[in-house]
Copies of this chain bind each other. A is one copy, B any other.
Amino acid sequence: MALDHAILVSLLEKPGSGYELARRFERSIGYFWTATHQQIYRVLKRMESEGLLAVRDVPQHGRPDKKEYSVAAPGRAALSLWLHEPIEPESMRHDLAVKIRGAAFDDPAALVREVERHHQVHSDRLAHYLAGELRDFTGPDAPAPLDAGQELQHVVLRGGIAYERMTIAWLDDVLATLHRLGAPPPSA
């Protein structure tokens, strides 16, 4: 049920509509959580009916009306409860690793392109995170002394950056290994 809590945190940071939340889930929150708009709308509706969220209809000019959600007192309490109970360290789900082990029963060289494609995606993400870090935390336009919330956002972002760097280095390792297998040592 962590999507509920991710939404609570995001709405505490700033109230917004389902659509806005969906876009945040493609950006900052997307470092560590993903959700589609359908999921978000469904959960928002349920949480509102449970009294965890408050809705406000906001008419807009030049675009459709939106429903702005914010966290109600019971929502804040629910989040606090969750924050104080232990959670399981996450489990990995890495399709590419399945493919790499599977390549032993197929053509390893055929994987090179796929790995390179992933390398590109992760490089792009890294660049995007670094730009965000400069803009919000370490650049000249960032607030001079960060408050607690910003410090915590920054350390989470540093986690995303570390993850992308690690992944890129590993994909280099994978590529080197694939090339080594494709061209076995000529001296052997």
Contact = CB atoms under 8 A, between A and B. Distances in A.
Chain A interface category by residue count: 35 or more
Copies of this chain per assembly: 2
A9 B80 contact: no
Contacts of A98: 2, 5-6, 9, 32-33
28 contacts: A2-B98, A9-B98, A12-B102, A30-B91, A32-B92, A32-B93, A79-B102, A80-B106, A83-B102, A83-B106, A86-B117, A87-B99, A87-B114, A89-B96, A89-B118, A89-B122, A90-B93, A100-B152, A101-B152, A103-B152, A105-B149, A108-B152, A151-B180, A154-B177, A155-B173, A162-B166, A165-B166, A166-B166
Interface of A: 2, 5-6, 8-9, 12-13, 30-34, 76, 79-80, 82-84, 86-106, 108, 110-111, 114, 117-118, 121-122, 148-149, 151-156, 158-160, 162-163, 165-166, 169-170, 173-174, 177, 180-181
